[in-house]
Amino acid sequence: MILALGLAADPTFTAGLRAVHAAGIAVRPVDLPSLALRGRVRIPLGSLEDTVLSVGDETVRVGDFPAIWCRLVDVASGAPSAGLAAASAGQTEALARILEFVPGKVMNPPLREASGFTKVLHAVALGEVGGWRVPETCLTSDPAEALGFVRGCRGGAIFKGASATKTWATVFEPHHESRLPRLVHLPVLFQERISGPDVRVHVVGDRCFGELIDSPALDYRTVRGGNDYRPLVPPREITEGCARLTGHCGVPLLGVDFKIDRATGEWFFLEANSMPCFEGYDERADGAISRAIVEWLAAP
């Protein structure tokens, strides 16, 4: 039996549960908001595998499960009271630490890949592991430095937030120059613009599932109905780099993003997400990604 930790309202979590059920494998889901609202986490001293999660009259012992699928989303910000917010945050922190030490397999331990707290460190460190080039990048709070960098990007530049918080990339245009003095209050990440299609590679264990996305928008996630999605078998250097990346990060599931320069065909690494929302890609791949996840969890 598999233990599944996540949100009942998360489409990726429910898609994974459907795949587990379709494979005929028993699963015990735990809804994290329900755990925060009317449950508790009990951690015995010196025996993390005896940690018990209780929701109402139902209890589960973490150590009883040979495999755990985890989408540990912090839901504290949505709590109806300060007390419940504190309880939720505490449970999330406790579970993240417990999952580093349980005896069974975990997809994915939440604290294992921590470079994503800053996008520059993440891209440079993981790009080096994969052996990939990253776009020219400038993280700065100096308006003059930012302007010099942008003007030096022959193909144009984009900018976005620098932290792990989800952000949308924006094309730098002439009217943005008047806003550069605001940088003194908060640094911003500037990058050269790579014109060409996006590629998402989902890595499950030692298997890769690629998809090429041609979009009229800078960020294809902002478009509904106007993108061209095509399955793609990544080049060997990409799949080998992805295998090195999962080994380096210590996580079996990654969503790895690339851009391909349309003029040169060169691949540029953008980022690797250790908690990817894979359900849309999985639907277009006829369920291949979720089946690979289930097979990894079910393997001895």
As to burial, measured by CB atoms within 10 angstroms (0-12 exposed, 13-18 middle, 19+ buried), residue 75 is: buried
Query: Mean pLDDT across the stretch 58-72?
Result: 93
Query: Mean pLDDT across the stretch 60-79?
Result: 90
Instruction: Give yes or no for residue 124 having a pLDDT over 90.
Output: no
Instruction: Give yes or no for residue 207 having a pLDDT over 80.
Output: yes
Instruction: Give yes or no for residue 117 having a pLDDT over 80.
Output: no
Under the phi-then-psi rule, with left for phi > 0, alpha for psi from -120 to 50, and beta for the rest, what region is 171?
beta
- Distance, in Å, from the CA atom of 226 to the CA atom of 252, rounded to the nearest integer, reads 32
The winner for highest mean pLDDT among 97-101, 214-218, 220-224, 246-250 is 214-218
- Distance, in Å, from the CA atom of 19 to the CA atom of 279, rounded to the nearest integer, reads 11
Confidence of residue 265 (pLDDT cuts 50, 70, 90): very high
Digit-coded pLDDT (tens) for 281-299: 999 999 999 999 999 999 9
- Give the least confident one: 86-90, 162-166, 170-174, 290-294: 162-166
Question: How large is the angle between the packed helices 11-22 and 288-298, nearest 10 degrees?
Answer: 70
Instruction: Give yes or no for residue 116 having a pLDDT over 90.
Output: no
Q: Which domains does the chain have, with CATH numbers?
A: 2-107 (3.40.50), 136-192 (3.30.1490.20)
Single-letter amino acid, residue 282: D
- Give the least confident one: 20-34, 102-116, 185-199: 102-116
pLDDT for 75 equals 83
- Distance, in Å, from the CA atom of 142 to the CA atom of 157, rounded to the nearest integer, reads 16
pLDDT for 204 equals 96
Instruction: Give yes or no for residue 151 having a pLDDT over 90.
Output: yes
Nearest CA-CA partner of 210 in 241, 182, 185, 233: 233
- Give the least confident one: 38-42, 89-93, 119-123, 222-226: 119-123
Q: From the CB of residue 167, how many other CB atoms can be counted at a distance below 10 Å?
A: 15
Phi, psi (rounded to 5 degrees) for 40 = -155, 160
CB 30 within 8 A of CB 7: no
Confidence of residue 205 (pLDDT cuts 50, 70, 90): very high
Instruction: Give yes or no for residue 118 having a pLDDT over 70.
Output: no
pLDDT for 112 equals 84
Query: Mean pLDDT across the stretch 246-263?
Result: 93
Strands 253-260 and 267-273: antiparallel
First CA to last CA distance, the chain? 12
pLDDT for 251 equals 92
Nearest CA-CA partner of 191 in 137, 144, 236, 237: 137
